[in-house]
Amino acid sequence: MNVYRFHRDEFLTLREEIKASRSRLFWIVTMGLFGVPVLSYLAYDAARLVWLLVPYSVLLLIVMFVLEQSNMMRAGRYIRERVEQGVFKVEGWEAWLESSMRTRLIEKQFVACFVVIFFVYYVITIAMAVQRLLDHAEADPSGQYWYWLSGAAVTYAIGAVWALATLVHHWRDTVSTRDEAVA
């Protein structure tokens, strides 16, 4: 296989990877926007403590969203740095996208919008779980639900801090293909 063909095939593979990431992002957003309210509704009336897991599900969606967005941008960065500039010595699509703050603005707003929505869902599902635990704790003379409440509150707080730290750490990677970008 000659070098030109290799780089062309590599470029095409990366474009397919970007398309696959876009598809996965669509499903993650769909699951988040519609699945979380349905899951919250169904879990709230569950007889067991299943509803305690709903906030963790939302946390997982946040991480999946950031991961897929970052994967897509990483593929774009590789195309810009290695394929466009390194092999073909041209300013291609990815370089053009990074040439102006305006061309990536909608992506930044898209990511920020869904991260905010997912965090709102996270807070709402935590509030629902804590309220349910408080109701049980006040009605239970044994006091076991106070332990559940304490444990849930601590793990939900740790999850929120961890998710925010992950988002801050990876923000640039989710909205730009430039390492030195100020997002």
Residue 100 pLDDT: 77
CB contact at 8 A, 128 and 54 = yes
Between residues 103 and 40, the one the model is more confident about: 40
When pLDDT is averaged across residues 48-63 and rounded to a whole number, the result is 91
pLDDT digit string, tens, across residues 67-113: 999 999 888 888 888 888 877 777 888 888 888 778 788 888 989 99
Residue 171 pLDDT: 85
For 123: left if phi > 0, alpha if psi spans -120 to 50, otherwise beta; the answer is alpha
pTM of the model: 0.83
CB contact at 8 A, 64 and 20 = no
Running DSSP on this structure, what letter comes out for residue 34? I
Running DSSP on this structure, what letter comes out for residue 31? I
Q: How far apart are CA 124 and CA 126, in angstroms?
A: 5
Whether 10 has a pLDDT exceeding 80, the answer reads yes
Whether 182 has a pLDDT exceeding 60, the answer reads no
Percent of the chain whose pLDDT exceeds 70? 96
